[in-house]
Amino acid sequence: MMAFNDLEKTISDLLRLDEFPVGLKFVHDEGEFNGVIRAKRRLYSCQMLKIAGQGGYLHAATDHELSCPHERIVFGMAEVTDEDIERQTTYVSTKEVARKWFETQMPRTNCRGLIVGPLGKMKSDPDVVALTANAWQATRCIHAYTFHGGVNMQFVTGPAAIPCAYGAVYVHNSGRPNLVTACSGARRYGKFEKNDLIFFFPFKDIEKFVQGLQESDKNGLSVPLLLDLGYPPRIPRAVFEEPRR
């Protein structure tokens, strides 16, 4: 396998990403935090993605620092409370629907914390890779995944559309990629912008992903994509005029 920094550069160059490809590792043992700077304040996992993607920092947060009520349930750090149920009725019609979502639909795992950083700075294999992308870059990610197998992809989301659950945890649990939007919290506090999408995929697939990107890029599916300019150029109202003979 290519070195982490080579993988990071290859993906960034082919997709023309504005942010670093980010590795995310679920930590289950305290010793895994050794050598990684821990957050000194409470924060959200979506903020960690931006700290890594835009700032280039490798950092960690434990269950003491991770503070979003939703993510603490998602990561197995807290149980669902009546307050959580009430909060979720922002997104669904009734408390009964909210409770059903928490109990049967929300992707979950159990961990002690997270290590998040640019892919090139990860000290060990991450569980998941996250790419903040625009619509065409996200389409190129789909090209990369489908290039060799030619099979359909299906993406999963749900109430609140939280990327910690439907991005990081769903991909970790299922072993399948997922394209997600940013929830209201990720936009307010994580600073994800209105056109940002996030393509999450399992690190185990990274060689296949890179090969798919490289091969489809050779076929002209590049970023940016050169549009058909047409010749001769025509002013917009020409669409309403009869072609000249």
Average pLDDT for runs of 10 along the chain of length 245: 94 98 96 95 97 98 96 97 95 96 96 98 97 98 96 95 97 98 95 96 98 96 88 79 76
Nearest to 164 by CA among 113, 226, 207: 113
pLDDT value of position 118: 98
Contact 73, 60 (CB under 8 A): no
pLDDT value of position 236: 79
pLDDT value of position 232: 78
pLDDT value of position 239: 77
pLDDT value of position 63: 96
* Count helices and strands in the chain by DSSP H and E runs: 10, 6
For residue 190, what are the contacts with CB-CB under 8 A and spacing of at least 6? 44, 46, 47, 49, 50, 182
pLDDT value of position 242: 81
Task: Spell out a b/e string for 87-119, using b for 16 or more CB atoms within 10 Å of the CB, else e.
Answer: ebeebbeeeebbbebbeeebbebebbbbbbbbb
Burial group, residue 133, by CB count within 10 angstroms (0-12, 13-18, 19+): buried
